[in-house]
Amino acid sequence: MNETPCPIRSPLLRPTAMRVRTLQVLPVLLLAVCGAAGAADFVGPDSCKGCHPEAYDAWMQSKHARATDSLGEQQKKDARCLSCHAPDQAEQGTAAVTCETCHGGGQYYSPSYVMKDAELARLVGLVDPSEKMCRTCHDASSPSLRPFDFKDALKAIDHWSAERTRKAARAEAPPSTPPPASARK
């Protein structure tokens, strides 16, 4: 009598602790990654300062950092004005247009190991601002006296050139060599 082995007894089909754990963790991981881009918590501009000091300094000098300064007392209470001048005030407690207003909530992309991988950072919520995004506030209905020119606006908020220059200089610098063994004694 030639019996076929029961498939459940086959080592390949038998559930292992690792397979079961993977099946339990996978849905949670997928929810975290899928929800990261839209539901990330804000970490605030001071969190960005540690790794991006030049960008932070440029932002501090920008009109975005002082966006509510141009509003009167009544306007500072008007939701229509605050939707552009302090859009993340409820989440961040910061009355300004901050890093995360344009780049998305940083909870998932702010860790340094994530920021070192541009693709991963974008996957978990880092946003590359576009003209369309800027025009949600800088549009024909805004009470600005001048029309919005995206290219000129980019130059006015340049907070990336100084950091890129510093990184390029560091990359081009010759590696430091340790002193000869005789000099170490």
- Contact between 143 and 130 under an 8 Å Cβ cutoff? The reply is no
How far is the CA of 75 from the CAs of 37, 49, 69, 80, 85, in angstroms? 31, 29, 10, 8, 10
Sequence-ordered list of residues with C-beta below 8 angstroms from that of 144, at least 6 positions apart, any chain: 138
- Nearest Cα residue to 86 out of 76, 75, 96, 73: 96
Tell me which CATH homologous superfamily contains domain 39-127.
Flavocytochrome C3; Chain A (1.10.1130.10)
At 39 the pLDDT is 47
Would you say the pTM of this structure is higher than 0.75?
no
- DSSP per-residue letters across 122-143: HHTT-----HHHHTTTSSTTS-
The first and second tokens of residue 175, run together, are 């590696």
pLDDT over threshold 80, residue 76: yes
- Contact between 122 and 91 under an 8 Å Cβ cutoff? The reply is no
- Nearest Cα residue to 65 out of 97, 33, 112: 97
Q: What is the pLDDT of residues 22-47, one digit of tens each?
A: 555 445 444 444 444 444 688 989 99
- Torsion over CA: 145, 146, 147, 150 (sign): negative
Secondary structure letter of residue 145 according to DSSP:
S
Q: Stretch 93-105: mean pLDDT, rounded?
A: 90
How many whole angstroms from its chain centre is CA 140?
28
Please tell me the distance from the alpha carbon of residue 159 to that of residue 27, in angstroms, as a whole number: 38
Q: What is the pLDDT of residues 154-163, one digit of tens each?
A: 888 888 887 7
At 15 the pLDDT is 56
- Torsion over CA: 69, 149, 104, 81 (sign): positive
